[in-house]
Amino acid sequence: MAVREVLRMGDPRLLRAARPVEAFSTPALHGLVRDLTDTMRHLNGAGLAAPQIGVDLQLVIFEVENNPRYPDAGKVPFTVLANPRLTPLSERMEEGWEGCLSVPGLRGLVPRYVSLRYQGFDADGRAIERTVEGFHARVVQHEVDHLLGILYPMRLRDLRNFGFTEVLFPGPDRNDG
Ligand code: NI
């Protein structure tokens, strides 16, 4: 198990556009997925993108199941997604609270497309295509933004809806990122 250090906002490596994954099914790529998974689960993240651990590749993972950081979120299956493409299915957007392991201790109200199709590949190069909505769609948009060098505070419409998690949502299990 390798829990890696997560880069925090201010690090220029979080602001790059990531390079596509070109070699699938390699020990290096499987090792990277393992490290991302260990790190995400250790920190109770809903997702993690390779640039967040300093790796310049278009690779994200996500998973939501009984997550103490997102107690009200629906389930999202564990997914490894390389070279993703998102296609919103309507113009409709919805605001929802987001946090980020690269922006620890804070939450912000972020507009996202309500429903979308995403396409990409798993670590073995198998094609993935899903149509999703709600929190699942939100998580994918947040993670794919990391591959474009975008952190969620850059998406906020009103900075008054940005603050410390423990102040916004007082409670025993909500005092982390
Ligand atoms: Ni994030």
The tokens for 131 are 């149509």
The tens place of each residue's pLDDT in the chain, 177 residues long, gives 699 999 999 999 999 999 999 999 999 999 999 999 999 999 999 999 999 999 999 999 999 998 888 888 889 999 999 999 999 999 999 999 999 999 999 999 999 999 999 999 999 999 999 999 999 999 999 999 999 999 999 999 999 999 999 999 997 655 454
SS3 13: helix
Question: What is the Å distance from ligand 1's center to 151 Cα?
Answer: 7
Domains and CATH numbers, the chain: 12-168 (3.90.45.10)
Which amino acid is located at 113 in the chain? Y
d(C-alpha 99, C-alpha 156), whole Å: 12
| CA 172 to ligand 1 center in whole angstroms | 22
Tens digit of pLDDT for each residue in 155-164?
A: 999 999 999 9
pLDDT for the residue numbered 152? 98
Give the Cα separation of 99 and 138 in Å (integer). 11
Identify the residue whose tokens are 């982390």. Answer: 176
Per-residue model confidence (pLDDT) at position 69: 84
- Kindly give the distance from the C-alpha atom of residue 101 to the centroid of ligand 1, in angstroms, as a whole number: 6
Using alpha carbons only, how large is the chain's radius of gyration in Å? 15
Cα separations (Å) of 106 from 65, 76, 146? 21, 22, 17
Please write the tens of the pLDDT for every residue from 18-30.
Answer: 999 999 999 999 9
What pLDDT score does 172 carry?
Answer: 63
pTM: 0.94
Instruction: For residue 89, give the 3-state DSSP assignment.
Output: coil
Q: Is 91 helix (H, G, I), strand (E, B) or coil?
A: coil
Checking DSSP bridges between strand 162-164 and strand 106-113, what pairing results, if any?
antiparallel
Residues serving a catalytic function are 143
User: Are 176 and 44 spatial neighbours (Cβ–Cβ below 8 Å)?
Assistant: yes
**Residue whose token pair is 């299956």:** 77
